[in-house]
Amino acid sequence: MEKEPLLQLRVFDLNCWAIRYLSKLRQERVQMIADTLSQEGYDLVLLQEVWSETDYRTLKQRLSACYPSSHYFRSGVIGSGLCVFSKYPILDTFLYQYSLNGYPYMLQHGDWFCGKSVGLLVLKIQEIVFNIYVTHLHAEYCREKDAYLPHRVVQAWELGQFIQHTSKAADVVLLGGDLNMHPEDVGIRLLRGWTGLRDSFTDAERFEGCEDGCTLVPDNYFTNKKELQPFPLGIRIDYILYKGQSNFAVKCDRLVTTTGKAPGKSIPYSDHEAVIATLYVKRHGEAKAPNSNTVEPALVDIMNEARTEVRVGLHAAQRQRYSSGRMAILALLLLLLQAVMGLSSLVGWASPQPFPKFSFSVLGSLAVLVLLVSGVLHIFHAIEVKVLQGTEDQMRLALQSLQDRLSTK
């Protein structure tokens, strides 16, 4: 890193919390974000939770002069919420939707409806190929009893695999987003260990912002203070991660987070803090093969830890698949019994109307309803089981390759 930097890249990342009808002061905040982005003229802006396409269009219109290229990633029922604005032309995009993402019946959480994904953009700046990833993983609603942990671990694994497999021709890899994981969580250790991505917070030469780099802080007007009680400083769940490949190296010169308020304003941009990194890209003397990261023996332990979480999820999913299947069979049996009773009373084998007509019809409707709901649940949990088994398989194979590489070192 002796040579002069080739390129400076200023990246802005923010979970915008822009849920129509639900998020407070949404429109004002979107305008505030647009103001700041126009004034600051970053090279790259990675946004999450822009759920409404109207908000995206507002931003696009306001930012078109400063950021001529932009993309909105569509998935799920509501949309992935991911969008990007770039000073440089976006050459290609690709979207990978995570195989597991919560449950459709958990309406109060709603993650399933967003079709959580990772979006990829390819940029070329001064002949340097950048693979930029933006993502938002499943939220953590209860840290003590986190039912979504296996899903988030699967997402972290798929994110890592997607980055590894798609970034081999890139000179610089950059990931920004709300990972919904604390820095010490197994998912982020797996992601970082597997991809070799560096954390801009720990690597930055200069840092300004919330203590410990937190991005969900009690000082923010919009955050739920009760949820943050166990963490007086707040938590760090929004990240900018990066690595240089081939003969390029990346350094984080400066990392800034907002501190509960948008600079010079009375309210924050969002319930999350924005993360702003200034990166320098330099050219190495020697070319490095893509993904030739040194394999850390600790990665074996991390992968085993992640596999354990996946297995815990698998057992739970198998139990739920079984219960919903059993319920569907019981409802079907009840319906069949009713059909036999109805028929036999019709053909005169039994006394007419052995039960009052009303109770009989209510019971029948209830059975149909239970059959439908438990049938759908059974299908859903069968898919969950398949994905968790598949992930476990993939992880086992990866672990084997890893151990082979370690033993031949």
Q: Binding residues for its own copies, per CB under 8 A?
A: 71-77, 79, 90-97, 99, 104, 113, 115, 120, 161-162, 165-166, 168-169, 290-291, 357-358, 361-362, 364-365, 368-369, 372-373, 376, 379, 382-383, 386-387, 389-390, 393-394, 397-398, 401
Of the two residues 25 and 337, which places its CB atom closer to its own copies in the complex? 337
Quote the least distance from Cβ 194 to its own copies, whole Å. 11
SS (H, E, C) the chain: CCCCCCEEEEEEEEEEEECCCCCCCHHHHHHHHHHHHHHHCCCEEEEEEECCHHHHHHHHHHHCCCCCEEEECCCCCCCCCCEEEECCCEEEEEEEECCCCCCCCCCCCCHHHHCCEEEEEEEEECCEEEEEEEEECCCCCCCCCCCCHHHHHHHHHHHHHHHHHHCCCCCEEEEEEECCCCCCCHHHHHHHHHHCCEEHHHHCCEEECCHHHCCECCCCCCCCCCCCCCCCCCECCEEEEEEECEEEEEEEEEEEECCCCCCCCCCCCCCCCCEEEEEEEEEEEEEECCCCCCCCCHHHHHHHHHHHHHHHHHHHHHHHHHHHHHHHHHHHHHHHHHHHHHHHHHCCCCCCCCCCHHHHHHHHHHHHHHHHHHHHHHHHHHHHHHHHHHHHHHHHHHHHHHHHHHHCC
Nearer to its own copies by Cβ, of 126 and 266: the residue is 126
Name the residue nearer to its own copies (CB basis): 326 or 386.
386
Instruction: Considering the candidates 138, 272, 378, 381, report the single residue annotated as catalytic.
Output: 272
Nearer Cβ to its own copies (79/213): 79
Least Å from the CB of residue 297 to its own copies: 19
Q: Give yes or no: 165 in active site.
A: no
Write down the least CB distance from residue 266 to its own copies, Å.
Answer: 36
Q: Shortest distance, CB of residue 41 to its own copies, whole angstroms? A: 23
Supply the minimum distance, in Å, between the C-beta of residue 153 and its own copies. 16
Q: Which is nearer to its own copies, 1 or 369 (CB)?
A: 369
CA–CA distance, 319 with 326 (Å, rounded to integer): 11
Minimum separation from the CB atom of position 401 to its own copies (A): 5
User: In terms of Cα–Cα distance, which of 177, 87, 92 is closest to 131?
Assistant: 92
C-beta closer to its own copies: residue 7 or 373? 373
Q: Which residues are catalytic?
A: 272
